[in-house]
């Protein structure tokens, strides 16, 4: 069982509330989403594993059970071309849960008209594979979001 923890502090809102049909429809996989606190912060790895995909606005960490967890920092933030995001690791790096991956500021994302909401998705998983899914409430970085069988 993979335990997936929050990469950010904020308020959990669930995938259905994400203002993007790809995420709200769970088209890339089930999971949840966080409306982050509005202050400069570092998004951390939600699992121990290898960074298999890394962009300024999003990253995927693959754990030892071949579970890929996507953290997407904001919605439509790919359009920012990396502005306002600082990568703290490289693709291929081994990371531990809670290790910093990307430094960013949700306030800056909102200032350019983008949503700072952050989906955390179990890639290619079935809804039945997740347990203990958190869909509301406040979380701190490192708090449990869901288990993945």
From the candidates 55, 57, 67, 72, give the one annotated as an active-site residue: 72
- Catalytic status, residue 72: yes
What residues does 106 pair with on adjacent strands?
A: none
Q: What sign has the CA pseudo-torsion 73, 79, 82, 85? A: negative
CA nearest neighbour of 14 among 28, 35, 29: 35
The helix (run of H) or strand (run of E) holding residue 24 is: helix 21-24
69 near 123, Cβ under 8 Å?
yes
The catalytic site residues sit at 72
């Amino acid at each position: 069982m993979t335990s997936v923890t929050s990469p950010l502090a904020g308020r959990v809102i669930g995938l259905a509330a994400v203002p993007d049909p790809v995420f709200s429809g769970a088209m890339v996989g089930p999971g949840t989403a966080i409306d982050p606190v509005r202050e400069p912060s570092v998004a951390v790895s939600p699992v121990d594993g290898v960074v298999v995909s890394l962009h300024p606005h999003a990253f995927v960490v693959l754990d030892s059970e071949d579970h890929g967890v996507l953290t997407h920092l904001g919605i439509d933030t790919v359009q920012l071309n990396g502005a306002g995001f600082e990568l703290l690791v490289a693709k291929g790096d081994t990371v531990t849960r809670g290790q910093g991956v990307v430094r960013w500021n949700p306030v800056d994302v909102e200032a350019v008209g983008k949503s700072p909401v952050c989906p955390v998705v179990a890639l290619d998983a079935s809804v039945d594979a997740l347990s203990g899914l958190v869909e509301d409430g406040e979380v701190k970085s490192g708090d449990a979001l869901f288990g993945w069988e």
